[in-house]
Structure 1
């Protein structure tokens, strides 16, 4: 006689038509009360109880950001797949479309505003430098469908072969906490306005106690003045074409100067990267409002600037790990905005779950936590409708955090990889163009240029 094993599981979700409104274990970070409060504040609560209440539609949008490869009907199936014991209404694709239109953009934007932030504590490893929260600003482009409305508003790119090519794109500019890679703030709009114009809107989230890292594309005087006016310090790379005046010398080789109306300290350095493929040397010029060379040595500031690349890891997680380099679903501008806010919100919620988990092991660098592992664990919890309601004892780890802690990556090694086009015209282009895609272990040497003087 063969033995039989019966596994039963209790699912705790909301009642009635609200049952599909969940995000698995991540619902504990985005609870029903938070979503209901946002809907009430935005005046988006349904006037009559429908098959798709507004709260459920919010969670549908968030779940869609978890399952970017699926259409909305498939996302609905994932939300309701484990709820077979409940009377779930049959929903059509048209009904889902109308529900998203009724919801609008404001609730998703308000939800993101509630959740955005550094997701770090004072003790979070590598989140602070010299008592300052390390943040970075940079931009990236997201592809949107080539529909008449998006094309008319956003335009299309061009190349040497045609006047218009590819998909229309929307420019996303974010302020990111380098230690946790959490999004503190984000804005987006047509790329024709430029990164610097959009970046100025992020000044609302800059304040004293921060040091913001800026690439040379964002080092124009207007943006630097805007950043300095907030009380935040900045460390910006300047282009080689700029020749700031020397107003005085510091003992560490840096010098006092002025950019616009901001008094800055300029650090010129030579950085050499050595790998088995050879050596590469470049000269870099950094500007900072940290004028005290004793508290903030030039050499340490040059090392700190490397943290700016953490924002690139943020964009990689959003565009590659979550989106899979796909084009956004929405074909209207309000729909695009709605989808982007959902994407940013879910990314932020996963980062919060990761930060909560790594905080339970003192000294653990959030860099060692795999975003891919957390994303997959979050998807599994949604499909199973697991961990929707928190227990009486609050557990900061949970199934997602435990999956992350069980698969912590080794401490980061110094490696370099040549930059390459992310989406070549042909998958064989790397061979035909002889592009080196290998990653190399590297050693880096930093030499501060200038004329040090005796203190």
Structure 2
């Protein structure tokens, strides 16, 4: 019995298998319309195919351009959906199609699709009805071209400069799922704190945002607190804390100060607030301070100081806050999954131009997000903590689905 050929262009039938539920065709079409990247004439590699292709690059980061495309359409011939006059495009044609697509549609798809995925019953995702989130940064090695060096720079300078240029990524991660829900990509000379200022739109009431001491500044803490989310950020010994009142659980209320205030002014403000006066919002903010040590991890007795916007110890105890703060390491695990499991340990982001580097980075983030969302769905159904499910096994499953049986998009 002859195989029935699909209607329409062959490329209309290219999909991402089990990932299509996260990046469905209607959403991709909306992104294409919003970013104005729809092709003006019929092409072998239209925009919707190239968006899927960029995500597939994240799944097969160590493969050649042609091999990624070959895997993306791998199931079509076996399913009777291969047109005999259609061949996998050359690497040059794929690169041209990527340049036509640009960065905006892939970034827009991430902004639209990457939302928190932990449900109310997801284990390890919540503290006192607050969704645990973390913010942190990392860098990725990119191809050593003059254009990439000019845009992204090298770490260090002179003889100590890194051999390859690097791109800096600062991201907000949902701790319970390890899903990245917001990111900023830029030059490695741009600090995490600078990039973090652009991530306030993804933080909202009902979240508890965790951050290491490298992120603290009065202005940035104040900016994130203004979103309505609660914060629990570590601060270093150099941060001035004006004691206001001790609390029953051993934590205490204190003032943090805008930079530039003289020591005597800070002391007067603390006394005024201790006596019941108002906190002047233009110069200070009232926080709760939790001091603790972790002897097993820091035998020398290193003091860890976390400041939080949750003032009431009856709502969240100091012990619970200290425990929750260490969930911030889920962010490190998420970065490791992207850098080692998806991209490959020690591998270079191989795109030769800055725009294609950024495009490829958004593809990596989209691929990671989709796998993490699938793992959370599976963990919730089985009643497991998502941490118990292997990311590597999830990645292998998705790769098999894309290649073997799910190349037809719904």
Is TM-score (shorter-chain normalized) higher than 0.5? yes
C-alpha deviation, 1:170, in angstroms: 1.1
Contact 1:271 1:281 in 2 (8 A): yes
1:250 & 1:12 partners in 2: Cα distance?
73
1:345 & 1:209 partners in 2: Cα distance?
24
Change (3 A) 1:379 1:12: farther
Contact 2:76 2:407 in 1 (8 A): no
Contact 1:17 1:53 in 2 (8 A): no
Contact 1:21 1:60 in 2 (8 A): no
Instruction: Judge which range, 101-110 or 235-244, deviates more.
Output: 235-244
C-alpha deviation, 1:126, in angstroms: 1.7
C-alpha deviation, 1:79, in angstroms: 1.9
What is the RMSD of the two structures over their aligned residues, measured on CA atoms? 2.2
Equivalent position of 1:132 in the other structure: 130
Aligned to 2:95, which of 93, 97, 102? 97
Aligned to 2:153, which of 137, 155, 169? 155
Equivalent position of 1:330 in the other structure: 351
Residue 188 of structure 1 pairs with residue 181 of structure 2: no
TM-score, scaled to structure 1 = 0.79
Residue 36 of structure 1 pairs with residue 33 of structure 2: no
Change (3 A) 1:73 1:389: closer
Aligned to 1:203, which of 200, 210, 217? 200
**Secondary structure at 1:264 match in 2:** strand
1:128 & 1:16 partners in 2: Cα distance?
46
Contact 1:134 1:211 in 2 (8 A): yes
Larger relative contact order, structure 1 or 2 (CA cutoff 8 Å, min sep 6): 2
Equivalent position of 2:318 in the other structure: 298
Instruction: Judge which range, 381-390 or 56-65, deviates more.
Output: 381-390
Aligned to 1:342, which of 350, 363, 372? 363
Contact 1:20 1:56 in 2 (8 A): no
Change (3 A) 1:134 1:12: farther
**Secondary structure at 1:267 match in 2:** strand
Residue 374 of structure 1 pairs with residue 397 of structure 2: no
For this pair of structures, how many residues does the alignment match? 377
1:395-406 to 2 correspondences below 5 Å? none
Change (3 A) 1:163 1:365: closer
1:193-272 to 2 correspondences below 5 Å? 193-260=190-257, 261-272=284-295
Equivalent position of 1:118 in the other structure: 116
Flag structure 2 segments of 5+ consecutive residues without an equivalent. Answer: 258-283
C-alpha deviation, 1:324, in angstroms: 0.8
Equivalent position of 1:313 in the other structure: 333
TM-score, scaled to structure 2 = 0.87
Change (3 A) 1:138 1:246: same
Contact 1:13 1:388 in 2 (8 A): no
1:177-232 C-alpha deviation (Å, 9 max, x unpaired): 10111112111111322111110111111121111001010122111111111111
1:406-455 C-alpha deviation (Å, 9 max, x unpaired): xxxxxxxxxxxxxxxxxxxxxxxxxxxxxxxxxxxxxxxxxxxxxxxxxx
**Secondary structure at 2:242 match in 1:** coil
Change (3 A) 1:54 1:387: closer
Change (3 A) 1:11 1:110: farther
1:280 & 1:249 partners in 2: Cα distance?
26
C-alpha deviation, 1:347, in angstroms: 0.9
Equivalent position of 1:109 in the other structure: 107
Contact 1:144 1:150 in 2 (8 A): yes
1:118 & 1:204 partners in 2: Cα distance?
13
1:304-362 C-alpha deviation (Å, 9 max, x unpaired): 1110100001101100110113111211111111111111111111111112222222x
Equivalent position of 1:360 in the other structure: 381
1:52 & 1:253 partners in 2: Cα distance?
62
Equivalent position of 2:261 in the other structure: none
C-alpha deviation, 1:146, in angstroms: 1.2
Equivalent position of 2:403 in the other structure: 383
1:54 & 1:63 partners in 2: Cα distance?
14
C-alpha deviation, 1:364, in angstroms: 1.7
2:229 & 2:6 partners in 1: Cα distance?
44
Contact 1:22 1:385 in 2 (8 A): no
Contact 1:14 1:21 in 2 (8 A): no
Aligned to 1:80, which of 73, 76, 86? 73
Flag structure 1 segments of 5+ consecutive residues without an equivalent. Answer: 1-7, 391-455
C-alpha deviation, 1:26, in angstroms: 1.4
Normalized per residue, the structure richer in helix is 2
Instruction: Judge which range, 132-141 or 148-157, deviates more.
Output: 148-157
Contact 2:16 2:407 in 1 (8 A): no
C-alpha deviation, 1:282, in angstroms: 2.1
